[in-house]
Amino acid sequence: MASEESEMLKELGVKSVEELFSDLPAEIRIKGLDIEKGLPEREVQKDVMSILAKNRTSGEMPTFLGAGVYNHYIPSAVFELLSRSEFYSSYTPYQPEISQGMLQALFEYQSFVCELTGMEAANSSMYDGATALAEACLMSVRINRKRKLIVPRSMFWEKKYVLENYARGPGLQIEEVPYDSNTGTVDLAQLRDLVDDETSAVYVESPNLFGVFENFAEVKESVGDALLIAGANPLSLALVEPPGDLGADIAVGEGQILGNPMNFGGPTVGLFACKKEHIRKMPGRVIGATKDVNGRRAYCMALQTREQHIRREKATSNICTNESLGAVAFAIHSAILGRSGLRKLAAENISKARELASRIDSLECFESPVFKSPHFNEFVVRSEISYLNVNDHLLKQGVQGGLYLSAHLEDLKNCAVFCTTEMHTKEDHDLLIRALEGCS
């Protein structure tokens, strides 16, 4: 066993198991739980619950940390419907046509995704937004057989790491396009310089990491014959023109925003849609509407080019299941809100973000937003003092601050992305402002 462990560590390029945890700050690492050995189960449970009680949730303290996982209100009806026995299984039905209720729910989910993104076809979900992006990039290579990918520098680094892992096996080349230092959007001139005959796809997301809206139409004009993969916040699409109408070939996104709680970071649900001409290259499963032998409306798995089924080594992807429960939650929440409800919710998020950014900008030692472009519910704040010290002070005041950017984007010194949603009250904003005032 020791030799196998040694071989695994050697293959990973690390010297010890402890090195695998080197990214964790020393102050939060523990050697084990301080629980007396030999206790009865009920006593162990009591001790563990006392440890867990030290955690503070978003319901106990306002959090302004977004960057991919967001705190939105989920109507009680979502959980009530989702808990029905017809839905409450996230795994693949191996005789799917007998599960008409689940198939219809997933068909409706696909319909919502298509309507929001402006695309012609959608699959029945991916693991999360990051794997949806990675699979979209692999799909672009299947379409045009080119091997170069261009992604924005203004992209959440954890999502970029997932893409790099996916690209390593097939040997794909990834290049980053810088952002404009004034607008926070992709630098179109540099994008045009990067695109060449070997470029398979260009990925741009809107809102981007800085919360700023990109112009997909201008990006499309700059990518030439390369495919355009558009990343989008589904809630923002209730107000802005969808990427499908602006020339995108594939659209991806994170569906946690609707119907799915934050759950300390997961599970989430990946949105994936494309033009109809590319549907055969799309990973995952597609639910279709048809008729049964009696002419009645029925649902089936129309496409399922998966490695577990007949495709085997010819499968388009190793993604062998989907986040069915999360997808159904997304569909239920979308249906409850409807078009007008989604637009109203999106507008409220924009309004709250503008108001909060303006209030922060009025404080001494802070600039907000750093990028003077239209933004959704996130925006970049710059501090004249160390943001790490600011964040520590906020936590002591019972507030979770924004996402620290400087460690990954060195030119954004002492900057952080703050997020606000409909869940934040005026009192939450007031608490944040008072805490920031105490930093200067």
370: in domain: yes
- Binned at pLDDT 50, 70 and 90, residue 92 comes out as low
C-alpha span between 221 and 375 (Å, rounded): 22
Among residues 333, 368, 390, the one where a domain terminates is 333
Same domain, 248 and 368: no
- Binned at pLDDT 50, 70 and 90, residue 284 comes out as confident
Same domain, 93 and 157: yes
Query: Does residue 312 register a pLDDT over 70?
Result: no
- Binned at pLDDT 50, 70 and 90, residue 264 comes out as confident
Q: What is the pLDDT of residue 85?
A: 80
Among residues 318, 333, 348, the one where a domain terminates is 333
Domain with 372, as residue range(s), is 338-437
Beta bridge partners of 231: 205, 252
How far apart, in Å, do the first and last CA atoms of the chain sit? 55
271: in domain: yes
Q: What is the pLDDT of residue 311?
A: 60
- Binned at pLDDT 50, 70 and 90, residue 344 comes out as very high
Same domain, 151 and 224: yes
Same domain, 261 and 197: yes
288: in domain: yes
Same domain, 241 and 283: yes
31: in domain: no
Q: 199 phi and psi, to 5 degrees?
A: -80, 120
Same domain, 317 and 399: no
Structure tokens at 48: 């563990």
6: in domain: no
Same domain, 298 and 162: yes
Query: Does residue 345 register a pLDDT over 90?
Result: yes
Same domain, 352 and 256: no
- Domain holding 201: CATH number? 3.40.640.10
Residue 132 CB neighbours (<10 A): 31
342: in domain: yes
Q: What is the pLDDT of residues 396-419, one digit of tens each?
A: 999 999 999 998 999 999 999 999
Q: What is the pLDDT of residues 93-130, one digit of tens each?
A: 666 677 888 889 999 999 999 999 999 999 999 999 99
Among residues 303, 333, 363, the one where a domain terminates is 333
- Binned at pLDDT 50, 70 and 90, residue 266 comes out as confident
Q: What is the pLDDT of residue 78?
A: 96
Same domain, 273 and 344: no
Q: 230 phi and psi, to 5 degrees?
A: -105, 125
Counted domains in the chain: 2
Burial per residue of 78-108, b for 16 or more beta-carbon CB atoms within 10 angstroms, e otherwise: beebbeeeebeeeebeeebeebeebbbbbbb
Same domain, 279 and 352: no
- Binned at pLDDT 50, 70 and 90, residue 309 comes out as low
Q: 320 phi and psi, to 5 degrees?
A: -115, 5
Q: What is the pLDDT of residues 416-435, one digit of tens each?
A: 999 999 999 999 999 999 99
The residue-averaged pLDDT of 377-405 equals 95
The residue-averaged pLDDT of 247-267 equals 93
C-alpha span between 159 and 126 (Å, rounded): 14
Query: Does residue 306 register a pLDDT over 60?
Result: no
Query: Does residue 26 register a pLDDT over 90?
Result: no
What percent of the chain is predicted at pLDDT more than 70?
Answer: 95
Q: What is the pLDDT of residue 1?
A: 54
The more confident residue out of 309 and 293 is 293
- Domain holding 425: CATH number? 3.90.1150.10
- For 158, counting Cβ atoms within 10 Å of its Cβ (0-12 exposed, 13-18 middle, 19+ buried), the class is exposed
5: in domain: no
53: in domain: no
Same domain, 223 and 272: yes
Mean of pLDDT over the chain: 91
Same domain, 329 and 359: no
